[in-house]
Amino acid sequence: MTMTMTTRRFTGHRVLLTGAGRGIGEATARRFAAEGAAVLVTDREPERAERVAAAITEDGGTAEAYGCDVTDDAAVRAAVAHAAETFGGLDTLVNNAYSCHPDPSAFEDLDSAAWYQDIDVTLHGAARCVRAALPHLAAAGGSASIVTVGSVNAERHFGDHAYSAAKAALASLTRTLAVSCAPRGVRVNLVEPGTIRTPAWSGREDALSRVAAHYPLGRVGEPTDIAAAITFLASPDAAWITGITLPVDGGLLISNLGMNEAMRPGAAAE
């Protein structure tokens, strides 16, 4: 993907992204770099991060790769320190790393290890990153931000109990952090994606096609849709926005197309 962005809202900006080795994280790293930011691409699988950073550099952007498991306090602190030392500070943290295990057929059969992993990576991982990054963000002169990737699962039943609970907790954490971080010049916001065409759906393209019918805009999302929202919230365009949860969901949360179809005259007879 060649970087052809003309707007450069992030010249001189320093960004650390977690879970940035593919999907939403990769698209967001590329978008920040295309608009002038220096990005630290982190992922628990270092080779993924290296691939993304190399592609950004090849396209003329500034990026470094760093292996980071967000369940490891020391690894998180090291990644943040590396970003601050390499780039001379930190302006934006993007919390994108997550874990999601599919639900068993009965909740009582849910594996405890899977439950705790989903919570630890998705919720506690973000909290670890915020704790490590805040001193650097607060030193950025009042223009810093944290953007976390949530999910529409926090708002409605779409399955995946542990993942959904963690994403709901992230929305609450966003609101409380927004208030406590405001005096330090750090804005805190969250994006809630709907169904996004990422590698997590590899081999299930037929399911994506069926899901698209439930979206008022008639399609599932692309990673670039979420990258656009994340970079907006991190940009000067959102300088007076903090503590919000922004659904980027093709209208899913405001609709019930399945119910509408069921109530259509003649539907029951077909």
Catalytic, out of 66, 98, 163, 215: 163
Does the annotation count 215 as an active-site position?
no
Q: Could you give the CA distance from residue 73 to residue 115 in angstroms, rounded to a whole number?
A: 20
Q: What type of residue is 177?
A: L
Does the annotation count 163 as an active-site position?
yes
Catalytic, out of 66, 98, 116, 167: 167
- Contacts of 42-47 spanning 24+ positions with Cβ under 8 A: 42/16, 42/17, 42/18, 42/66, 42/67, 42/68, 42/79, 43/18, 43/19, 43/67, 43/68, 43/97, 44/19, 44/68, 44/69, 44/70, 44/97, 45/21, 47/21
Q: Which of 21, 58, 31 is nearest to 229 (CA)?
A: 31
Instruction: Find out whether 57 and 51 touch, Cβ atoms under 8 Å.
Output: no
Residues marked active site are found at 163, 167
